[in-house]
Amino acid sequence: MHLAAGSLWLAARIEPPLAPPEAIALLAFRAPASPAPAPEPVPAKAYVPVPTAVAPQPEIAEVVIDPPATASARDAACAPLKAVQAALASDPAVRTAIAAVPTGARSVAEAIVVWNQGWSPLASLEVPLAGGEAPLAGVRALVARTLAALPAHCLAEPITGPRLVLVEGAAQTAVLAFGSGAWRWRDLDTQVVTQAPQQVPAQAPHPAG
């Protein structure tokens, strides 16, 4: 009896075993991984064409095309007044002829009419001045030769008013005048004068009757 009571006391004193501790899950905290870099594109394989033999081409000569004549170039070749001016100014005989023109045939400004709807008596071959040939006959011949060398269409252009040609002399500058009103250079006689005008023979005085 005493043993039984003691067993019971021991049983009462022995506490039931504790439950095993619950497992605690340990979570490993890891820093977020950086995104992986995108893969670099693979360069495409370059295509290198295989060179082929090219037959040599014959050399082509460079073609040079002259530009067409401009209007200014045509006008420069069609300037009767400039041509007459150059011809008269470059001939010393013209200055000698002008010096032989009488003072009464000159204007106050030393202008001398050479042609105005007809040749002046100073340059006329048909009506020589008293005392000898017309002093400007050589000027007329030079003007005729100069105009005859120009194209016909240049001489056909209409002109209004006189055209003046300046001829510098030793003492002063003479002015030769051509035309007035409406006229053309072709109106001048362009026939080349090759013979000097004939002098009018002096008449013998009539005997007193």
Following CA atoms 10, 11, 14, 15 in sequence, which dihedral angle do they give, to the nearest 10 degrees?
-150
Q: What is the pLDDT, as a whole number, of residue 73? A: 44
**Residue 124 identity (one-letter amino acid):** S
Q: What is the pLDDT, as a whole number, of residue 200? A: 37
The pTM is what? Answer: 0.54
User: How does pLDDT run across 174-206, given as a tens digit for each residue?
Assistant: 899 999 999 999 999 755 444 444 443 344 444
User: How does pLDDT run across 89-142, given as a tens digit for each residue?
Assistant: 999 999 999 988 888 778 767 789 999 999 998 887 765 554 556 889 999 999
User: How does pLDDT run across 26-65, given as a tens digit for each residue?
Assistant: 444 555 566 667 777 766 666 666 666 666 665 544 443 4
Instruction: Report d(CA 10, CA 8) in Å as an integer.
Output: 5
Domain ranges of the chain: 76-187
Which of residues 197 and 87 earns the better pLDDT score?
Answer: 87
Which of residues 15 and 82 earns the better pLDDT score?
Answer: 82
